[in-house]
Amino acid sequence: MTTISIPHGKYHIWTVGCQMNQADSQRIQTMLDELGWEETSMEQANLVVLNTCSVRQAPEEKAHNLLANLRRAKNDRSDLLVALMGCMIGNQKTIDALGKRYPHIDLFMKVEHADILPRFLEERWTPISGAGCLDIDFMPDHPEDSVDEISISPTVPTFATSTDRAGKRTVLPMAITPKPGERVAHYPTKIEPAQASPTAWLPIVLGCNKVCTYCIVPYRRGRERSRPMEELMVEARSLVAKGARELTLLGQTVEAYGLDLPDKPDLADLMANLSDIDGLARIRFMTSYPRHMTDSMIERMAHLPKVCEHLNIPVQSGDENMLKRMKRGYSLDEYVERIDRVRELWPNITLSTDVIVGFCGETEEEFQHTLDLLAKIRFDVVHVAAYSVRPGTVASRWEDDVPLAEKKRRLHAVEDVQGKIAFELNQSYVGKVEEVMVEDINTTHDQRQLKGRNRANKLVFCPEPEGRFIQAGEFVQVRIERATAWSLQGDAVAL
């Protein structure tokens, strides 16, 4: 076994975007902690990792601003390394363009390549000055192949080194062997936190095979790749042994889990296996896609006691034409039929959705259809976003013709409609006793306030019961006294 000795430094991980990014950052953090590196501020760090999001314009702009700042910082400090990961990294072409614009980026890393970190740090970072760092070059066997089409050798990666192309910062391990057509989801399984959060993420399917016209994710995260069931079980058991009580299974279209695996297990099969893990109390999952949700899958999930009754199922628009333009892959009727069926097969299910307003060409009438749909379905939560162009997507070739002020008006209109619906729905909890898993504890004026979620994913607040010292991960029964559109509040009751 190869032992790598790395002098300890300090790191900072900056994360934006979805739960998948947060889960990935957690892995990187664990890995750096286990290497003996210490977390610190961005200003103090020897290694700054930017885990980026390209789904919307604002987070990408933030990353560009940070990269500009880091370029200045690197001019002053030779002991600073910059790594970029997340959705801003796509194929080799994207990496080359970013490398040209920001030659101070030392490492482009997909989380699937995180195994290279120890080696990278050993070769690129010295605690004294950074002088003498090796220039590392990527020498793929087939440079024309997309990095989305790779599998990774289980061996410790090694780097090609070169001095004749100083300034070139693209770094990938030579052990990555492109095999066109083979798409294996590989996560660095040795990355497990020493102590897991009570609420832990488990990415189960990476990438996306859909082609929604506004979305950059498939270009940056590649095609769907399910992680093998055995690998997930090992990781889940380990997370639970280290303190996780709730696992959230992640995927861009999470019900696609297993479609690319040899024996085609589905999401419900995985949940059934996970349910056997002692100490695991709750299983959640996101994000759902209506056409992958079969009746059989819903029924089996509904009968697993550990699986919580909450579904995040983005609709994006309530207008038939808009759905076609967005290329969502379902009609409005199909979406509504799926929701009806889910409610039939899984009583007590709560629903959240995502909506985009102001997409290319959206008329007032088409927007009204979205408001109509929200009133009809009555989701518990709606995440609404104003459309912003993502270069490289199909829609980026179309006119972004809804003015910003109008997008904002539509966004607020959705919030107003949804606020009233959520307020009404949440009143039904008043007087009920809910099982709440505590996620966080805030102390104000010497009073400890518990914050957690019920099974339906509603945020619940309650004061810590007298005489008890509750910790995150514990369960409390809470009688709900008040409800707003955003949360429930109540008091703990004795069992």
> 335: helix, coil or strand?
helix
Kindly write out the interface string for residues 218-247 of this chain, putting x where it contacts ligand SF4 by CB under 6 A and - elsewhere: x-----------------------------
Position 487, amino acid: S
Q: Please, what is the minimum distance in Å from the beta carbon of residue 286 to ligand SF4? A: 11
Tokens of 237: 């058991």
β-partners of residue 491 are 479
**Between residues 15 and 312, which has the closer beta carbon with respect to ligand SF4?**
312
Tokens of 67: 């990269």
Q: Is there binding between residue 323 and ligand SF4 (CB under 6 A)? A: no
Q: Please, what is the minimum distance in Å from the beta carbon of residue 278 to ligand SF4? A: 34
CA 175/CA 193 separation, integer angstroms: 25
Provide the strand spans (E) within 350-487.
350-357, 381-386, 433-444, 447-453, 459-463, 475-483
Q: Please, what is the minimum distance in Å from the beta carbon of residue 395 to ligand SF4? A: 11
> 251: helix, coil or strand?
strand
Place of tokens 């998948």: 20
CA 321/CA 337 separation, integer angstroms: 18
Contact range with ligand SF4 by CB under 6 A, out of 84-92, 152-160, 215-223, 442-450 = 215-223
**Between residues 217 and 360, which has the closer beta carbon with respect to ligand SF4?**
217
Q: Please, what is the minimum distance in Å from the beta carbon of residue 95 to ligand SF4? A: 21
Q: Is there binding between residue 208 and ligand SF4 (CB under 6 A)? A: yes
**Between residues 217 and 382, which has the closer beta carbon with respect to ligand SF4?**
217
Pairing of strands 282-286, 310-312: unpaired
**Between residues 71 and 210, which has the closer beta carbon with respect to ligand SF4?**
210
Q: Centre a 10 Å sphere on the Cβ of residue 96 and count the other Cβ atoms it contains.
A: 14
Kindly write out the interface string for residues 252-281 of this chain, putting x where it contacts ligand SF4 by CB under 6 A and - elsewhere: xx----------------------------
Q: Please, what is the minimum distance in Å from the beta carbon of residue 252 to ligand SF4? A: 4
Q: Which of 212, 274, 377, 436 binds ligand SF4 (CB under 6 A)?
A: 212
β-partners of residue 282 are 246
Q: Which of 172, 204, 217, 488 binds ligand SF4 (CB under 6 A)?
A: 217
CA 286/CA 30 separation, integer angstroms: 23
Tokens of 335: 């979406």
What residues make contact with ligand SF4 under the rule CB under 6 A? 208, 210, 212, 215, 217-218, 252-253
